[in-house]
Amino acid sequence: MAKENMSAWSPKKYDVFISFRGEDVRHNFVSYLRSALRGANIKAYADDANLQKGDEVWPSLSQAIHDSHLAIVVFSKKYADSKWCLIELVEILHCRKTEGLVVIPAFYQVDPSHIRNYIKDNDHVIQEWKAALSIGDKFIQEWKAALTEAANICGWDSRTRYHKDESQVIDKIVEDVSQKLSLRFPVELKAQDLVEIEKYCEQLKLLMSKNQNRQLQENVQVIGIWGMGGIGKTTIAKALFSQLFPQYDAVCFLANVREESKKLGLISLCDKLLSELLKDEHCKYNIAAAGSTFIMRRLSNKKVLIVLDDVDSSDQLDVLCREQCNYVGPDSKVIITTRNRHLLTGRVDKIYEVKIWNFAKSLELFCLHAFKERHPKKGYEDLSERAVKYAGGVPLALKVLGSNLHCRSTEFWDCELSKLINCPNERIQNVLEVSYDGLDNLQKKIFLDIAFFFKGEDKDDVIRILDACGFYATSGVKVLEDKALITISYAGTIQMHDLIQEMGLNIVRGGSEDPGKRSRLRDIEEVSDVLENKKARKNTLTFLPNQTRHA
């Protein structure tokens, strides 16, 4: 399985294989399509242009299909009249199933239902084939299944009123091809970034293959990917999506749901989801009568794959997930990434937690970004270990630090790593602070108190102390745990990742350069100086920890 998945990220001879009936479209639609693909720097195979003199036709065509990442099937009125087109289509769909070949149908002056029902509606043609070519029922059933499967894949229809001429639909097809190739080979999944990713994908696919107690509807399986900021949830979701999406009739990776819903609004984001699934940019979500709309009925027979990335509210799930899941076809899947485990409870079949990386894999990822190889360069071993320990198994931190230190001297490394103690990396901190920003005021106070004073302390003791301050800590601590800001150990103590703790300390320190004006103090020298000089403002909380704990 792993070998097959890794091959999906390997280069092939062609980006696109074009399947078509020559007499219908060779000198018009396909000619323009091939030119547009070439203009977009997409390498396409079409039999009339790529077959060499003396080549055996079918072996060459079959090899070209296997040597392509994506296939465009141009269905025209006479496409299914050709035995060779049908044989080609069967091979394309076989590669879709076994090799992850991406298939995009283009319906040229023909209704998809005509293609879907061709065998049933043209019995006289089938009987002529069977008599003249000695074709058995097995082949007929294969062709029928292939036509039905291909026509059910969401594609492009040249007859739609929104396409004024062929050039517009061709532009849309080329845009779709570019997007699909990008989804198949995300920039995050360069060979150097595949450390651990394949393992996560295999674990998730195993989780998805098990029988689930479906939460939303029996047609749909919903999986949540949960973990702290920077831990790699989006990268894992992109890797999984790139492997799975060729098997689905309609797909959409909706990135940055949290930010996009703020900018566009949820209804506009839902329009974007539907138009991507149905390849119709004029789809509009009817919130008043979603169940009766024509748009929803169009999804009813589609096997759909949706990824909702970085979800942070139940409203987002209700509009983007629950409504769509009521109408999609059997074996559809929805994958949700979030920092908030509570959002997933009762809404998904399974939750997959992304945990911090061990030291060995962390060192490998760091070195790939710092040295472009898997091991530290001579003379950088101790410095690399310092950097990896600072990152604490968080992939984002490992990548950022490695990239910042790439091609730098040992003196530069030592200076930068020492600086991190008092000046955390801004890019890493900004990612982590998103979870903090989503807390209410009391929850923020609880988080900062834990970051300053209670890391490693007994949970029940901490809740008692904070409740005495009027913080409603029982629910507050649970929210912090659900948002991956803290963990509770088997021994019942509150634990916090060093980078998250550092983020909390930095939030308070950033409030004022004068320690006497900060809300919390934990450094012994700062506490002593403030108390001795009576510089603390009235509401400053001072706390004198053991010397072994001060920052």
**Residues marked as catalytic:** 88
Within 13 Å and on the Cβ side, how many CA atoms surround 268?
A: 8
Tokens coding 451: 């970051």
DSSP annotation of 81: G
Tokens coding 1: 């399985």
Q: What is the side-by-side strand order in the sheet with 250-254?
A: 250-254, 304-311, 332-338, 220-226, 350-353
List, in order, residues 6 or more apart from 296 with CB less than 8 Å away: 290, 326, 327
- Helix, strand, or coil here: 415? helix
Answer whether 33's CB lies under 8 Å from 170's CB.
yes
Answer whether 186's CB lies under 8 Å from 351's CB.
no
Dihedral sign of CA atoms 75, 81, 82, 88 in order: positive
List, in order, residues 6 or more apart from 388 with CB less than 8 Å away: 359, 362, 363, 366, 398
Q: Which residue has the tokens 């030592």?
A: 414
Q: Which amino acid is at 546?
A: N
DSSP annotation of 354: P
Tokens coding 38: 């070439």
Report d(CA 221, CA 208) in Å as an integer: 8
Report d(CA 287, CA 319) in Å as an integer: 9
List, in order, residues 6 or more apart from 4 with CB less than 8 Å away: 99, 100
Within 13 Å and on the Cβ side, how many CA atoms surround 54?
A: 0
Report d(CA 38, CA 174) in Å as an integer: 10
DSSP string, 485-539: S-EE-TTSBEE--HHHHHHHHHHHHTT-SSGGGSSEE--HHHHHHHHHTT---TT
Report d(CA 459, CA 457) in Å as an integer: 6
Residue 520, φ and ψ in degrees, nearest 5: -145, 145
Answer whether 57's CB lies under 8 Å from 91's CB.
no
